[in-house]
Amino acid sequence: MRLKNFIPVLYIVFLLLPIYWLVNMSFKTNDEILSVFTLWPQNLTLHNYRVIFTDASWYSGYINSMIYVSINVVISVTFALPAAYAFSRYSFVGDKHLFFWLLTNRMAPPAVFALPFFQLYSSIGLFDTHIAVAVAHCLFNLPLAVWILEGFMSGIPKEIDETAFVDGYSWPRFFVKIFIPNIASGIGVTAFFCFMFSWVELLLARTLTAVNAKPISAIMTRTVSASGLDWGVLAAAGVLTILPGALVIWFVRNHIAKGFALGRV
């Protein structure tokens, strides 16, 4: 049994070491980072974080990312709910083909779409807006949301629908009052995955924005390429991008494994 416990511990150490190193660096001054090699900060400083929280060109990136990720999660979940219901309850002309076609969009490399997206959103005047990034991310998040929600909905017995209709519920009222509460954890898991894939994506978000909606990750790459690299601030910015994800995991920790299991398994 000892070896068995050893494997996950080793793996978690492997996962956390690079993250620890980033956190460690974010509390160091640049002098300390570059001159001496230390395993923990000798002169603990909050200077790097202060830079980010006081400079608008830094913290606006976080706000932009949060805005388009939220819009994307709302669009993905609200649009996917009725579609997933249709796929799980009814058969209709072309349903299987449509479902497969939706999934193929999950397989499309974002690199293929970067340039056409840029032209498309420029031509309709949405370039450099939050809504453009949110809609672009729907390309892979909507199919995923439909896929996961369909899995959850198929786990709800059909008798619930039928009983409600016999009781005189109209479809919208039944859907909101009875069905949605039944798949609440499924919606949570779906929102989690939409958040995750929209939050981590960079290529499309960077291509579709210039100034007003520039995501934090794009601001970081700009800093990397600039001369006179400020390692401490870069590390602090990195740590701050990990935090929202960590918070979200904390809230859905009991649902993650279940979500993986129920989402089409």
Among 18, 125, 181, 228, interactor with another protein by CB under 8 A: 18
Category of 168 on φ-ψ map: left (φ > 0), alpha (ψ -120 to 50) or beta? left
Q: Does 106 bind another protein (CB under 8 A)?
A: yes
- Quick note: the x/- pattern for another protein over 174-203, rule CB under 8 A, is ----------------------x--xxxxx
Segment interacting with another protein (CB under 8 A) among 40-48, 52-60, 85-93, 181-189: 85-93
Positions in 201-240 near another protein (CB under 8 A):
201-203, 207, 216-217, 220-221, 224, 231, 234-235, 238
Q: Does 170 bind another protein (CB under 8 A)?
A: no
Among 45, 105, 129, 182, interactor with another protein by CB under 8 A: 105
Among 52, 71, 146, 233, interactor with another protein by CB under 8 A: 146
Separation between Cα atoms, residue 120 and residue 137, nearest integer Å: 14
Separation between Cα atoms, residue 190 and residue 145, nearest integer Å: 6
Give the pair of three-digit tokens for residue 155.
């786990």
Segment interacting with another protein (CB under 8 A) among 45-53, 88-96, 176-184: 88-96
Q: Does 245 bind another protein (CB under 8 A)?
A: yes
Cβ atoms within 10 Å, residue 77 = 19
| Beta carbon nearer to another protein, 47 or 238 | 238
Q: Does 59 bind another protein (CB under 8 A)?
A: no
Q: Does 89 bind another protein (CB under 8 A)?
A: yes
**Total site size for another protein, rule CB under 8 A:** 95
Give the pair of three-digit tokens for residue 93.
């002309």
Q: Does 127 bind another protein (CB under 8 A)?
A: no
Question: Coil, strand, or helix at residue 52?
Answer: helix
Q: Calculate the CA dihedral of residues 147, 152, 156, 161 and round it to 10 degrees.
A: -50
- For residue 139, give the nearest of 209, 92, 90, 79 by alpha carbon: 79
Query: CB 209 → another protein: shortest distance, Å?
Result: 14
Query: CB 116 → another protein: shortest distance, Å?
Result: 3
The Cα angle at residue 202 between residues 140 and 152, in degrees rounded to 5: 30
Give the pair of three-digit tokens for residue 169.
């519920």
| Beta carbon nearer to another protein, 88 or 185 | 88
Sign of CA dihedral 191, 194, 198, 204: negative
